[in-house]
């Protein structure tokens, strides 16, 4: 009798352990999924359709969408002054990058290729280097090593502030012909995604 009781007891303990582990696992998974969703918000491209509009709680929210791209006047690697206004009426890709940023260097050759592909549509690609205090000649050497020939501009504090840059690089702004930001992305994306955003900029704001 006692032996049967012990058997039943052990079975009950075993089943209880399974239920407990299942419950714990469920909670753990829910917690991980929640955390993963939060991470996803931080790292996926921010676009108008996916935006919740809650920019106060999400520092990576696409804050510039639909707004006129802030004007700037910077110098390129040859010391020539380049202003956003110089390209009025053109679709523009404005790519913030840094020499230490591997994902930036992954995207930049694609921007170079796409600049050539959509040259007839007036596409302009501009890179803005976000290295802190790096000499122009070193940025020039890096851009040549990466294989880009589109204008690379040296930053000032104002342009980073005006474009409300986050802590992440790369950050890219796609500007339509009307000068408004049609897409804003953070982190590197596939070539197809870059091209889709470029097509959006080309197709937006024309007369």
Least distance to another protein, CB of residue 7, Å: 6
Asked if residue 194 lies in contact with residue 176, where contact means CB atoms within 8 angstroms, the answer is: no
Measured distance CA(147)–CA(134) in Å, rounded: 19
Of these residues, 92, 104, 142, 188, which one is catalytic? 104
Count CA atoms closer than 13 A to 139's CA, side-chain side. Answer: 22
CB of 164: closest distance to another protein in angstroms?
A: 16
CA proximity to 173, closest of 54, 76, 103, 84: 84
Q: Does 96 bind another protein (CB under 8 A)?
A: no
Judged by CB under 8 A, does residue 102 bind another protein?
yes
- Contact letters for another protein, residues 148-187 (x by CB under 8 A): -------------------xxxx---------------xx
Of residues 25 and 78, the one with the C-beta less far from another protein? 25
| d(C-alpha 120, C-alpha 129), whole Å | 26
Given the complex with another protein, which of 28 and 83 has the nearer CB atom?
28
**Nearest-angstrom CA–CA distance, 139 and 32:** 40
d(CA 28, CA 24): 6
Q: Which residues bind another protein (CB under 8 A)?
A: 6-7, 10-11, 13-15, 17-18, 20-22, 24-25, 28, 31, 39, 43, 98-106, 132, 142, 145, 167-170, 186-189
């Amino acid at each position: 009798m006692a032996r049967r009781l012990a058997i039943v007891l052990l079975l009950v303990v075993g089943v209880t352990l399974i239920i407990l582990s299942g419950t714990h696992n469920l909670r753990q998974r829910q917690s991980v999924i929640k955390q993963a969703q939060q991470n996803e918000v931080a790292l996926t491209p921010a676009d108008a359709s996916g935006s919740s509009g809650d920019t106060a709680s999400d520092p990576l929210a696409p804050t510039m969408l639909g707004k006129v791209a802030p004007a700037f006047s910077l110098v390129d690697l040859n010391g020539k002054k380049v202003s956003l206004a110089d390209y009025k009426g053109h679709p523009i890709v404005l790519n913030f990058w840094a020499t230490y940023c591997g994902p930036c260097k992954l995207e930049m050759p694609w921007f170079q290729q796409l600049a050539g592909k959509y040259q007839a549509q007036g596409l302009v690609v501009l890179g803005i280097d976000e290295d802190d205090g790096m000499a122009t000649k070193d940025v020039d050497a890096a851009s040549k090593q990466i294989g880009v020939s589109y204008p690379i501009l040296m930053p000032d504090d104002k342009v980073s502030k005006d474009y409300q840059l986050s802590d992440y690089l790369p950050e890219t702004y796609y500007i339509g012909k009307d000068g408004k930001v049609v897409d804003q992305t953070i982190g590197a994306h596939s070539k197809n995604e870059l091209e889709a955003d470029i097509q959006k900029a080309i197709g937006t704001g024309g007369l």
